Amino acid sequence: MFSYLRERFASHLRERSRRRARLVSKDGRCNIEFGNVEQSRFVFLIDIWTTILDLRWRYKMTIFISAFLGSWFLFGLLWYVVAYIHKDLPEFNPSINHTPCVENINGLTSAFLFSLETQVTIGYGFRCVTEQCATAIFLLIFQSILGVIINSFMCGAILAKISRSKNRAKTITFSKNAVISKRGGKLCLLIRVANLRKSLLIGSHIYGKLLKTTITPEGETIILDQVNIEFVVDAGNENLFFISPLTIYHIIDTNSPFFHMAAETLLQQDFELVVFLDGTVEATSATCQVRTSYIPEEVLWGYRFAPIVSKTKEGKYRVDFQNFSKTVAVETPHCAFCLYNEKEAKAKEKKGYDNPGFVLSEVNETSDTKM
């Protein structure tokens, strides 16, 4: 009993570590880390727009709030310095005929409020710049221009973050498992994909990459070696009419990397199948890419997907997503090589073949009948 539990625990740990080692998660995120990068992190500031867009919302909002508060407080200090140098503050006891640079600035708090009013163009009318000093006029112009730049950049970044096609990709879903079964008399690897919105993806194109570790004839070990996997539907793999769930399939022929795999050895393989779907969002005309991956434990040999589309009495087509990832066991050859051998044997049964060892010998007939 103890040995059984130990085996189960060890297999669970192996499976868990294997699932963690995948390059692309089920939701399309890439699990990769860059180490010992020679370039400084300040190079990301050169492309500040992309850097801001790639940040998570909590960091983006922190930068957004900090930019506004920081600029308001910085210019509040400058307005306070202007008032201090011009001796407009109450502690200097200005005369009745004294004209300040900014009306009604009595301290740091009022200078901060005036900075806020200037940058966001609120204009309450209580505090205002006078024509007494050119420094205040220059500072007013500079803050107004800088405020427009900050406001435009931050609002544009938030709007671009909201409208990014990555959010559209979340409404494209793949089946939890891939299956291997016969389709059209051929052994195929099948995956189901669905569009959860009624709006289409224009010019959709689907393809795959098989990632595995290979050793070249020269002895070089290549980790994450990429092999192209062609996926098709009955109408082709480009310009898909993606209005209802589609079942895409890859034909396992002699050119396929799955040709030498069998049902008994599939779980012993070390590979990751990454599937890509590219398209253009109909509403925004922005390009969109959806990714997912499958490891050997998620590839079911000898199964097919359950039907998902039906037609109601009213003539409408109904998609039942309860059966989206549901699979049904079917009779399937345990390897692609066996299927092709079976087809070849059946084809030979229908043909005649010459026997090169057959020799026709003539026999002389003698008549034993006597008259």
Which residues, in sequence order, are CB contacts of 233 under 8 Å at separation 6+? Answer: 240, 246, 247, 248, 249
The pLDDT assigned to 23 comes to 84
* Long-range CB pairs of 229-236, under 8 A, 24+ apart, other chains included: 229/256, 229/257, 229/273, 231/191, 231/206, 231/207, 231/275
CATH number for domain 55-163, candidates 3.20.20.70, 1.10.3720.10, 3.20.20.240, 1.10.287.70: 1.10.287.70
Neighbours of 180 (CB within 10 A): 25
Average pLDDT, the chain: 81
Query: Residue 357: which pLDDT band, with cuts at 50, 70 and 90?
Result: low
The pLDDT assigned to 15 comes to 54
Q: Which residue, chain included where needed, has tokens 């409404």? A: 171
Angle made by CA atoms 231, 299, 184, in degrees to the nearest 5: 50
In this prediction, residue 165 carries a pLDDT of 67
Q: How far apart are CA 43 and CA 130, in angstroms?
A: 44
DSSP-assigned states of every residue in 224-287: EEEEEE--BBTTBSBS--TTS-EEEEEE--TTSTTTT-BTTTGGG--EEEEEEEEEEETTT--E
Local structure of residue 223 (DSSP, 8 states): E
In terms of Cα–Cα distance, which of 173, 141, 197, 135 is closest to 292? 173
Q: H or E stretch including 179?
A: strand 178-183
DSSP string for residues in 97-120: T---SBTT--SHHHHHHHHHHHHT
pTM of the predicted structure, to 2 decimals: 0.68
Tokens at 122, concatenated: 């609120």
- 94, two tokens: 């200005």
Q: Give me the pLDDT at residue 3, please.
A: 66
Mean pLDDT of 315-342: 83
CB 231 within 8 Å of CB 247: no
Q: Decide if domain 168-347 falls under CATH 2.60.40.1400.
A: yes
Structure confidence at residue 371 (pLDDT)? 43
Mean pLDDT within 338-363: 58
171: confidence class by pLDDT, cuts 50, 70, 90: confident
The percentage of the chain sitting over the pLDDT mark of 70, rounded to a whole number, equals 81
d(CA 333, CA 301): 9
Round to whole Å and give the CA distance between 368 and 371.
Answer: 10
Q: Write out the residue limits of the CATH 1.10.287.70 domain(s) in the chain.
A: 55-163
CATH 2.60.40.1400 placement within the chain: 168-347
